[in-house]
Structure 1
């Protein structure tokens, strides 16, 4: 198994990667801090005194159509990109209890102290996703908003770079030996270049060679605490069947 386009979009726009906001018939784009709540609605944390705040003026006669644009940042040089996500909708400013609940949702992803100043120096805006797209390997996938909302961000995304560095630095020889056995490699030195809830992506071959294989976990990871138990048997026992990418 591999992440679906809906899961990839949810992961990319979750709030751990930099985002740009494009506004319909407005200048821009604007850099923005963002997060998503459990339903997948997008939250924008906007300084009250900023160009973006002026464009999202709650006194405007109508809601503002916005597009959040997020590009994946691979965890290491040479690692494949998960793509670029765009989600769009109509931004609505939040106040009172709605703003407090949204601040709690934002803090679950990014516990920035600026959330304490929501209503004074910062304002939260929210939009439900009306359109979702993912561009990967030159192909654009359009995802139904309901499918997007039902998907979940990858629970390993925030820790991916740390886990990959740990595998390479602390378990390098063991990992390489294991991968060589599973991929039936002799001289090439394979390496794990990506990690998600479904398994590992391995690059192998000579420098510049883009051959890759996916080694799946026995079952999808539900949270970070699952990972040690799944990695231990993968590194010490025969692996599930791999699939070349």
Structure 2
């Protein structure tokens, strides 16, 4: 198993990565602080005094402003493959009163910034429902159904991924290498081509191996998607404790 395109887009736009906002018929793009709420709607925290706030002001005869949020993945370690780029679009409108306060709670669940305390004075909250979503990876762009996007959930390990990879490499390197060699059926001892985990998600591990210039990547799938860090730790125990009896499944 591997993340679906809808799940990947939800993960990329969840709010852990920098985002840019493009607005129709307006200058830009603009850097923006954003998150998504539990329904996948995009929340934008915008300084009152900013070019973006001015651009989000509806023109004559407009109620909302057409926007596109553009988020590019940042690989968690050197040599790790990118998840690509997500583009989600909709019509952004400013929230006020109870709606703004409820949205601030959703924002804080992802990014508990103190600037939310100044909502209504120094900052404004905008929201849009995703009506179009695209996932770009390499030379391929795939459209993602908005309903599938809304029903998907961000990967719970994405924000932890850099720390997880560093911990495996720095504190359990020998055990991980030995485990991966057994799983991949590799023989010999070539440090230059030793397998290593380069990405982790709720569905499994992405492993790179082979000498420079002939590197290969393969996915080792978990028996079932993990729900959180604690479940991942239990599942990976055989990797760092060779005497354990069970572990991730074989290549997928």
- TM-score over 0.5 (shorter chain): yes
- Residue of structure 2 aligned with 1:205, choices 196, 210, 234: 210
Distance 1:47 1:239, change over 3 A: closer
CA RMSD of aligned residues (A): 1.3
Instruction: Give per-residue Cα distances to partners, 1:172-226, cap 9 Å, x unaligned.
Output: 0000000011111233301000000001000000023331111111210112221
Of the structure 1 ranges 58-67 and 131-140, higher mean CA displacement relative to structure 2 is found in: 58-67
Q: 1:210 to 1:141 in 2, by over 3 A?
A: farther
Contact map agreement 1:79 1:194 (CA 8 A) in 2: yes
What TM-score comes out, normalization by structure 2 length? 0.93
Aligned to 1:218: 223
Range with greater deviation from structure 2 (184-193 or 71-80): 184-193
Q: Secondary structure at the match of 1:232?
A: helix
Q: Encode CA deviations 1:129-169: one digit per residue, 9 max, x unaligned.
A: 00000011321110110000000000000100000000000
- Which structure 1 segments of 5+ residues have no match? none
TM-score w.r.t. length of structure 1? 0.96
Per the alignment, residue 52 of structure 1 pairs with 52
Q: Take 1:69 and 1:210, find their aligned partners in 2: how far apart are those partners?
A: 30
Please list every run of at least 4 consecutive aligned residues from structure 1 whose deviation after the TM superposition is greater than 6 angstroms: none
- Residues in 1 aligned to 2:60 and 2:97: alpha-carbon distance in whole angstroms: 19
Alignment partner of 1:157 is 2:162? no
Within-5 A mapping of 1:84-95: 84-95=85-96
What's the secondary structure of 1:75's corresponding residue?
Answer: coil
Gaps of 5+ in 2: none
